[in-house]
Amino acid sequence: MTMNAELESDGDQLLSIRQDAVGLMSGLTDAQFNWQPAPGRWSIAGCFDHLNKSAEQLFIPKIDSAIRTAKTNGLKSDGPFAYSAFERWAVRNNDAPPKMRFKAPKNFQPAPTLRLEDVRSEFQRWQDEIAARLRESNGLDLRRAKYVWPFWPVKWSLGASFQLLLAHERRHIWQARQVRQDRNFPA
């Protein structure tokens, strides 16, 4: 079955994010990976640890829920799909460069010190999991498959969830790049 245009675009964005992340983490020592530009600011490690925690605790479980809902209820469509004004606003405001700042809940806060190889391999594993969900969603109605978003009491669609996840990843990779480009970044 041919991938619908929206999911194909999401897959292309996911590939770009993966390549960007690999390049950003290349050649770093664990000390550089964990370096913070200021107290309370996240390191490169912190940005990727947050993405890993977000995938594990939030995005993948909610996406799985929406996929189950779509399959159980026979919600099928090849699109195109249109999402609510709120969903579009949330995606825009979670993309890079950040337009609004959000404080990450405690369980999504990064660990203080992390090993580069552990975080990188976990990030790549989550990228594989996301790609699998994109493939599994092909043919489903990405607008009508929904779940309740945990931070806002609104119903959130499967397609907008993928868009939010990708925007969130771009946001924190942008943030990690700012750390690496900081004039005080250790050589």
Domain ranges of the chain: 5-22+30-180
pLDDT tier at 107, thresholds 50, 70, 90: confident
* Cβ atoms 153, 81 nearer than 8 A: no
CA 153 to chain centre: 20
Q: Which two tokens stand for residue 16?
A: 């770009």
Q: Which amino acid does the sequence have at 161? A: S
28/79: higher pLDDT: 28
Please tell me the pTM assigned to this model.
0.94
The closest alpha carbon to 175, from 18, 31, 48, 13, belongs to: 48
SS3 102: coil
What is the model's pLDDT at position 162? 97
Record: fold of 5-22+30-180: Four Helix Bundle (Hemerythrin (Met), subunit A) (1.20.120)
Residues 55-66 pLDDT 10s:
999 999 999 999
The mean pLDDT of 91-106, rounded to a whole number, is: 86
Residues 29-50 pLDDT 10s:
999 999 999 998 999 999 999 9
Residues near 86 by Cβ (< 8 Å), separated by ≥ 6? 152, 154
What is the model's pLDDT at position 111? 83
CA 87 to chain centre: 15
What is the model's pLDDT at position 112? 82
Using CA atoms of 88, 93, 97, 102 in order, give the dihedral in degrees to the nearest 10: -150
Q: Kindly tell me the burial class for residue 74, based on how many C-beta atoms sit within 10 Å of its own C-beta (0-12, 13-18, 19 or more).
A: exposed
Residue located via tokens 């309370």: 40
Q: Which amino acid does the sequence have at 178? A: Q
Residues 161-186 pLDDT 10s:
999 999 999 999 999 999 999 999 99
Residues 130-155 pLDDT 10s:
999 999 999 999 999 998 877 777 88
Residues near 41 by Cβ (< 8 Å), separated by ≥ 6? 179
User: Which of 9-18, 55-64, 97-106, 163-172 is predicted with the least confidence, judged by mean pLDDT?
Assistant: 97-106
